[in-house]
Structure 1
C-alpha cells in the first residue's frame, strides 16, 4: 500500500492544544481526532511507502506518530541493504514527491519583453487608450500607488495570523530604502466589511490598516478588497512585469504552492525557512530563505532582490528553468517510478479467484438459438463500430439465455462460489472462565434453521468466525447437532487461520501466505508477552498457551485477576519498536492472541468475499451485544449485521482502550441502517430482522 497523508491528525491536535481554546476532551468530542489519529497509525502500519510533500512533513509531522521513527527507519534500511536481519521490525519508507501543478495557463505573453500592456496601464504614451483591454485587477491594484513604476513586492494569502503579514508590513515600513525602491501589494482574500469577518481575520486586517497609518504608507501599499480566483494569474503577471518579488513570510508553511505559482511567472521569491519552502527553493534556486520572526532579515532579503538586478534576473531564470520539476508530468513520473520499485521488492502472488461456471441452458430455452426473432433495429449499417443487426440479435438472445440459466436451480453443482448469500456467525459466547457456553451451539442451530426456512439451505453458505483455535472450535462443534460440512469456512484464532470443511480440514495455505506479509514471527513471540505485563505484574500473570499457538498466531493465557495492558497501549509499544501485529483479547479477556497485521476476522471475511465472488452486501453477520476486542471491526462495513441480544454474557471490551482514547460511537456510526437488534435467536425475530435489512 502507498499512503499519501494530508493535514495529519497529530499535528492538528497539537496546534489546537497550543491555542488553548479547547481541552483535550473537547477537541476529541468535536473532531473525533483520536479516531482519526488511530486510522493514520493503521495506515502507517500497512504502508510500504508514504508519500510526502516535503522533508518538514516527514520530520515534524510523521515523526509525531508511534509507527514511524526516522532514525530507526534509516537503520533498518541499512540493515536490509547489507542483508542483515531486521528481527521482524519494519518502518515504511518516506519519500518526498512534491505535488504537481498545471502550468498550461502560463503563456508566452508573460515574457518581460512584452511589457507594452504595462506601459498602457501606466499611461506613459499613446497606448493609454488600450487600457480597456487590460485586466481589471491591474487597475484595482495600481490605483493605490503614487509611483506605480516601482517594482511590486507581492504577498498573497489568507488574513490569518499564521501567515505573518504584519511582520512583513513592519519590515517594509521600517526600511526607508526599501520603501523608496518598491511598492507592496497585499492580496488578503475578499472582504466587504471587516466587522463581518471572523475574529482572527478581522484582527489581522485591522492591524494591517493601523500599521499602514503608523508608518504613513499611503500610496506605497495596495490592499484591494476583492479579487477573483481567475484573476490570480494576472496578479502574478503584474508583479513580474514590474520586476517585482513574491514573498511568503508564514511562520510555518507546510508546502507553499504560491511559491511555485510565482516562479512559473518568473518572479523571484523570499520565503520562510520553516517548512516546505526549504525544499522548493533547493530545487528552483530562485530566491532567499528568511527567519519569519526577524523583520530585519525580511527587509534585507527583499532589498537585495529588488536592488540587485543581476541577482533578480538570475533568480528569475533559475525559476523558469527548473519549474518543470513541479509539473503534473514530473509528479506522475516520480510517483510511478517509486511505486514500481515497491512492486519489484514485493512481487504480487497470484490469488486464484473462483469464477462462476457457465450453466447448461434450461429446458424451456434450450432451442432458443434456433428460433428466428426479429427486433426493431434502426438500420443494418455499422456506425462508429456498432454491431450490425444480426450480431445484436444474437447478443440479446444470449443475454436472455444467461438470465434464464441464473434464475434456474436445475443442474447446479455445489461450490462456495454458487452461494447467493453468506450467513456468518461471529458471536463470542464464553463464560467468565473463557469456556464456550451452550448458547453457542443453540445459536448455530437457530441461525441455520431460520436460514433454511427463509431461503433454503442450498442458497446460503455458513461461515464461523472465532477467536478459538481450530482444535477448540472442532470440540465445540462436536457438541452441536449440525454437520461440520454444513460450514463453508471456519476462521479460527482471530482470523489468522482458515479451513474449508466441505473440501478438507487443512489450513488454507494461500490465506496463510496472504496474511504473512510483515509478520515478525518468532521475533515477537517473547516480546509481546513481556510488553503485555504491567510494571507491577507478576511473571506468571501472562503465560504462553502452547495448545492454541500456530505459525500465524501466538496465544497467551491471562491469569484470573491479573493486570495486563490494554490493546491500544500494547500496540503502541510494539509500533514504537517497529513490530506490526494485530492484537486481540478473546475468551472473555482470559486470552491474548497476537496475529499478523493483515489477519483479522473482518479481513478474512473480505478475503472470502473476493475469492468466492460474493458481494459483501450479500453477507449477514450474527454477533452478540459484546465480544472480543475486535468486536467493533465486525459492526461497520457493507455487510448486514444482526445483533442477538442475550447470547454473549462476557466480553473483552474492557481491555480495548484507555479512557482518554476514542469511544465506540466514534468508530461505529449510530443508527446504522445495516445493523438490526433482535431479542432472542428465535426464528420470527431473525426473519423479521432480515426483512428489515432488505433481505428477502
Structure 2
C-alpha cells in the first residue's frame, strides 16, 4: 500500500518539529508523523509520502524539495506562487499552484499512490483536484473543523479565509471515500452541522500515542528549578496546563477560573506551559495577544507567587512537567473551547494525573473510556474551579482517577490504530467482488453480551460466518452507528451488511465499496411521523427517577436516560407521555437504561424493514439477543435466539416462549440457535433424494 499524505499547514519536517513556533504548528503534525512512523514500523507493505508546501522564512529545512525521514517515509515539498510562510487562513490562495505542482509530479512518477490522505480542509481541496484529474481516491482527516470554531467563537465567521475553509470541508465530506474522525464527538456532533454530513462514511479511529516516555516519567532538577523561580510554595499541588497560547485553547479562561477562586488558590499552584517564546512583540499576533492576556489576568488577580509560566522548555522536559504535578497530587487541566482529540490528556493519564477537561470534543471519549477525570463547560469559570476543588479535596477520588490513567496506555495504542487504519485503506483500494446473488437468509444479532463478550466464541463465529453462503449478517444495537462500528472493528467482527443502531431508530447498509455505509433515509421518513422530540424531552424532565445520559447518547430519533430501575418509574414515564398526548416507544433494559423512540421505531420494526428490503420471508430471518431492549425484536421474529447469558428474565417471558434458549453463551449461542432452526426447517421440509 502506497499512501500519499497531503498536509499544507504549519512548519512540517521529519524530525525536531518546532511545535508552537507558529499557530498552525501543532498536534496535527505530530499525529501525521506518528501515524506514518507507526505504519513504517508495524505494516511492512505500507510506504508513506508526505506532500507539503515549501516556503521561506524559517530556515533551509522548509525549502528542501525531498527529505527522506526513513527508508519507507519521504517528505516532498512543492513551491507555490507565494514563497513566504502562510498561515492557514491564507493558504487557499496557494491551492491552485500547489495542486498543479503535485499533479505534475504524480504524472511524471514511475509509480502513483494507491490512495491520498488529506489533512485539514485545504489539503482536501488538493486531494479532490488530484482525484478529478488522475482518479486516485482520498480519505480525509479534519483535525479541527471550521463550524466548530464558529460555534465556539462566533466572531471568527468574518475572518479571512473562513468561508473558503467551510467550503473545503463540505467538499471533503462530498468527495472523500472515507472520513477519519478522532472521536465520537467529532463523528456524531461536530460534523453534523455540515450540509454534506453522511455518518455512514465516517469512521472513528482514535489516534495512538507513544506513551512509553510518560509511563516512567520523573520530575527533573531543571523543571524543579525553573518552576521554583515563580512559586512561593512550590510543594503545593499543581494545576498543570500544556497548550499553545491560541484563543481556542482558552488558557485565559483557566487563569480567570483560578483567579476568581480563593479556595483554589489556597490549595494549589497553577503552572502553564505555553510553548517556547522570545520577545512577545515579535510573535504572531494571536499568540502575542493571548500571552499578554495571561499576564494581565495574573496581574489583575495578583497571582504572583502562585502561577508559573516558563518562557522556554525542551521537548524532553514535557514528561517531567507532568511528573512534577503528579508528585504533588496535582491535576492536568484542558480548558479548550473545543479539543478535537487531546494527546496531552493521554500523556497526563499515562503519568498518573487526574484530568479536568473541556466537555467539547475528544475529551468526552477519553474520560468516558478511562474514567480518569471530570468534564466541564470551558466557559464556566466557576464550574472549572468546582471540578478542580472536588478532586483536590477527595484523596480517594484523586487516587482512583490517577490509577485509571493506565487504561489510556492500553487503549490509545499506535499499533492498534494502524492495524485498523491499514485494513480500511486496503479495503478501499481493493474493492470487493460484486455479490453473485441476493441472500436467502438474514441473521441479525445484538452486539453487547450477545455477539461480543467471549473472545473464543467470537473467533468461532467469525470462522463460521465466512463459510455461510447466501446469509446476510447484520447487528441491532442500542449503540450509535459509530460506537457500534468501533466495537465491531476492535473485536475483529466480520463486517456486517446491515447496521441497525440506536435501538432501531437508524439503519445503515454496507456500500458497494465494502467499507462505508449508506443511511436508510426511507426508514427515517417512515418513523418520523408523530415524533415530537422536544415535547417528549420537556415532559420527561418532570418525571422523578430519570437522569439524562450524556449528549453523545442522544439522537434525533432517540432520547436516552438512566433510570432508578423500578417498575413504578417506567409506569410514570408511560403515564406522563400519555397524559401529554405524546406517542412514543418506551424501552427499558438492564434495569438501568431507558430509551424513548418514535412509536414506529424499534429493533423489531427495523429488522422487518430490512427483511422486506431483501425480499425475504419471516422464516428466512434469525434474530439473537440477551436483554430487555431486544424483546420487541425477539417477539416479532419466529426464529429468535436467546443466548444463555441473558438478563432481564428474557427466558421466562411468555411472549418469548417461541424463542430458542441456547445452552451456549454469546456468539456460540447464536451459532447454536441458527443451526437449531435450520435443523427444524430441514426436518419439516426434507430435500428430495
Quickly name the TM-score band, shorter chain normalised.
Answer: 0.3 to 0.5
Higher relative CO (Cα under 8 Å, sequence separation at least 6) belongs to: 1
Q: Looking at secondary structure, tell me which structure has more strand per residue.
A: 2
TM, length-normalised to structure 2 = 0.40
Normalized against structure 1, the TM-score is what? Answer: 0.40
Query: Which structure would you say has the larger Rg?
Result: 1
